[in-house]
Amino acid sequence: MTTPTSIPAANAGRTRPGARAWRVLAWLLLVLLWPLPASGGTSVADVALPLPVASGDPPQTLCSGWFERPPYQFADTATAGVAGDPTGLDLRVAQEALEGVGHAVGYRPMDWAAQLEGLRRGTVDFVVGTYFDPGRLDYVHYSRPYREERNALYLRRDADHGFADREAWLDAVEQGEFRLGLSTGYTFADPEVAGRLSDPAPEARIVDTAGDAENLAALMDGRIDGFVADPVIMDLMLARTGQADQIRRAGLDLGSVGVRVMFSRATVPRALVDAFDREVEALEEGRRIAQLEVEHILPAFLVMTTSELWFNALTLMGILAFSASGVMLARRERYNLFGALVLATLPAIGGGVLRDLLLGREPVFIFDTPEFLLLPVVVVATGFLLYKLHDHWLVHRAAVQRLIARQRAGVGGRLVGWLQQGLDAWAVAAFTVIGVGVAVESQASPLWLWGPVMAVVTASFGVIMRDVVRSDFNIDMLKRDSFAEIAVLGGLAYSLLLLWPPVELSMTYILVVTNVVMLVLFAARLLVLWSGRINPLQMGDPHTLPERRLDDLEAAEPALWERLAGFLEEDAQGRARAAEPGRLESLHKDFGYALEPLLSEFTSLAAEPLFESTVVRYQNLRSRFDTLRALEQQLYDHLRAPAPGDLPDAEQARELETRVCEGLRSLLDTVTMAVNSGDREDFEWLRELSSNQRTRFDGLRARYLQSADPRPGGALDQVLQRTHRVERMMWMLADYVEQRLAPGGGAAVSDRRQRQTLLQGA
DSSP assignment of 169-209, as one string?
A: HHHHHHTTSS-EEEETT---SSHHHHHHHHS--TT--EEEE
- The answer to whether 45-145+259-286 and 152-254 have equal CATH topology is yes
Per residue in 624-640, pLDDT tens? 999 999 999 988 988 88
Omega before 648 within 30 of 0, i.e. cis? no
Count of beta carbons in the 10 Å neighbourhood of residue 150: 17
Q: Which fold has domain 45-145+259-286?
A: D-Maltodextrin-Binding Protein; domain 2 (3.40.190)
Mean pLDDT, range 486-515, rounded to an integer: 84
Spatial CA neighbour of 288 closest among 89, 32, 487, 513: 89
Domain ranges of the chain: 45-145+259-286, 152-254, 311-531, 543-761
Task: Identify the band that residue 61 occupies on the pLDDT scale cut at 50, 70 and 90.
Answer: very high
Cβ atoms 205, 180 nearer than 8 A:
yes
Most confident of 146-160, 292-306, 671-685: 146-160
Mean pLDDT, range 350-361, rounded to an integer: 92
Per residue in 550-565, pLDDT tens? 889 999 999 999 999 8
Per residue in 199-229, pLDDT tens? 888 889 999 998 888 999 999 999 999 999 9
Tell me which amino acid residue 453 is: V
Query: Crossing angle for the helix pair 650-677 and 715-741, nearest 10 degrees?
Result: 10
Task: Identify the band that residue 264 occupies on the pLDDT scale cut at 50, 70 and 90.
Answer: very high
Per residue in 570-627, pLDDT tens? 877 778 888 888 899 999 999 999 999 999 999 988 877 777 778 888 989 999 999 9
pLDDT-wise least confident of 208-212, 639-643, 748-752: 748-752
Does the structure show a pLDDT above 50 at 11? no
Tell me which amino acid residue 494 is: Y
pLDDT-wise least confident of 324-333, 370-379, 451-460, 748-757: 748-757
Cβ atoms 462, 347 nearer than 8 A:
yes
Does the structure show a pLDDT above 70 at 642? no
Does the structure show a pLDDT above 70 at 744? no
What percentage of the chain reaches a pLDDT higher than 70? 78
Q: What is the CA radius of gyration of the chain?
A: 44
CATH 1.10.860 is held by the domain 543-761 = no
- In CATH, the architecture of 152-254 is 3-Layer(aba) Sandwich (3.40)
CA 259 vs. chain centroid, Å, equals: 35
Tell me which amino acid residue 673 is: M
Mean pLDDT, range 425-434, rounded to an integer: 87
Q: Would you state the pLDDT for residue 169?
A: 93
Q: Would you state the pLDDT for residue 703?
A: 59
DSSP-assigned states of every residue in 260-309: EEEEETTT--HHHHHHHHHHHHHHHHTTHHHHHHHHHHHHHHHHHHHTSH
